[in-house]
Amino acid sequence: MSTALDIKVLASLEPIAAFNATRLRELLDYCHTETIAKGSNPFANNSLHGQSVYLIAGELALQYQDGNRVVVSAQSEWAKHPLGKRQPEIVSANALCDSQLLRIDDELLDRMMTWDQVSSHTLHPDAPENLAREDLESRRAFSSTMFSAENLQHGPFAHLPAANIGELIKRIETMVVWSDDVIVREGEAGDYYYLIDTGHAVVTRQVGGVELQLAQLQAGDVFGEEALISEAKRNATVTMKSNGVLLRLGRVDFLHLLQEPLLHTVDFAQAQQAVRDGALWLDVRHPPEYRYDRLAGALNVPLSDIRNAIGVLDYAKKYIAYCQSGRRSAAAAFILAQAGYEVQVLAGGLWAVPHTQQQ
């Protein structure tokens, strides 16, 4: 038994019905359906915890912790709302016929709701004429791929505090760019953090007088954070390879609105305890530095290669990043945190670690 999952199904559910058509189409990719055979308990091996679960086909007999029993049909008003959210805990359930459930991650749904509601409050359709241009830019930014469900789950905004969302929407700028435009140049000071809305670009670096291609960037990718966090010069050049649209955030706004929420520092004693509890040291310096004086058991992933480690490093592990001073490790930690890793920075780097602890 199967019920086709489309926007019409999602649009009938609460509070999902508040989303516009674009959001509903996005959400389809994050919905999981399961068929429940008649006579079985759908929550015996797959609980409701951390999920919004909807009955979209069939009937369920539910018994609650307070002793109440209810039969819920997919056609009822009750089925428009997630099961077991506001009632006493469900202690047993039985499918009265072949049925189907829809499950959505609570965290993702809540982030999407928060962003949408904050944006509707922040972006005033009746803004005075002198604010109209700002307002339009903010609307353009909010509708971009950067604020998609994927980026709210795993991207740079996944852990952004709700209090910062409105300010980010107001301060982010939109840039129309053309093929061959140089966005950042190696050796220059960092001034902006960039997000690609549409288009694609290439990252290059001069090595021994030869231009070496390091990476290709596309819609949804970000760049420019390393120089802003480490207070160093740009270590690569980014050139557009197509026309497109970029979003950018100035250095001060980036540090306040994005870096601070994502970067968490620990002192050496706290880091040691975390390592004893299973965390891993992550040395982001150059290999010669690593070989000379590393912490016992540390992995070496130089800052210049940190993006290539995304998907290779274990998401289930916690990492403590370090370098000499803490600057490079802060940049590396930010990049990894954007990608969904749990990573902290050793405050003060190796300069704050007793020599007896290094090998």
- Residue 357 confidence class, pLDDT cut points 50, 70, 90: low
- Please tell me the distance from the alpha carbon of residue 193 to that of residue 250, in angstroms, as a whole number: 6
pLDDT score recorded for residue 230: 79
Q: Would the pLDDT of 177 be above 90?
A: yes
Q: Which residue has the higher pLDDT, 195 or 124?
A: 195
pLDDT score recorded for residue 129: 46
- Residue 20 confidence class, pLDDT cut points 50, 70, 90: confident
Full set of structural domains in the chain with CATH: 7-105 (2.60.120.10), 123-258 (2.60.120.10), 264-357 (3.40.250.10)
- Residue 280 confidence class, pLDDT cut points 50, 70, 90: very high
CA angle 65, 71, 72 (to 5 degrees): 105
Q: Would the pLDDT of 258 be above 50?
A: yes
pLDDT score recorded for residue 128: 45
Over range 236-260, report the average pLDDT: 89
Point out the catalytic residue in the list 10, 101, 108, 323: 323
pLDDT digits (tens, 9 = 90+) for 35-73: 999 999 999 888 888 899 999 999 999 998 888 899 999
What are the strands, taking DSSP E only, across the chain?
Answer: 32-36, 51-57, 59-64, 69-73, 90-95, 99-105, 173-177, 182-184, 192-198, 201-207, 210-217, 222-223, 237-240, 244-250, 265-266, 280-283, 299-300, 318-322, 342-346
Respond yes or no: is residue 323 known to be catalytic.
yes
Over range 161-190, report the average pLDDT: 86
Q: Would the pLDDT of 124 be above 60?
A: no
User: Which of 225, 228, 234 has its CA nearest to residue 186?
Assistant: 234
pLDDT score recorded for residue 26: 87
pLDDT score recorded for residue 300: 96
What pTM, to 2 d.p., does this model score?
0.62
Omega into 42 within 30° of 0, i.e. cis?
Answer: no
3-state secondary structure of 170: helix
Other Cβ atoms less than 10 A from the Cβ of 107: the count is 13
pLDDT score recorded for residue 60: 94
pLDDT score recorded for residue 65: 86
Mean of the per-residue pLDDT values of the chain: 84
Q: Which residue has the higher pLDDT, 270 or 255?
A: 270
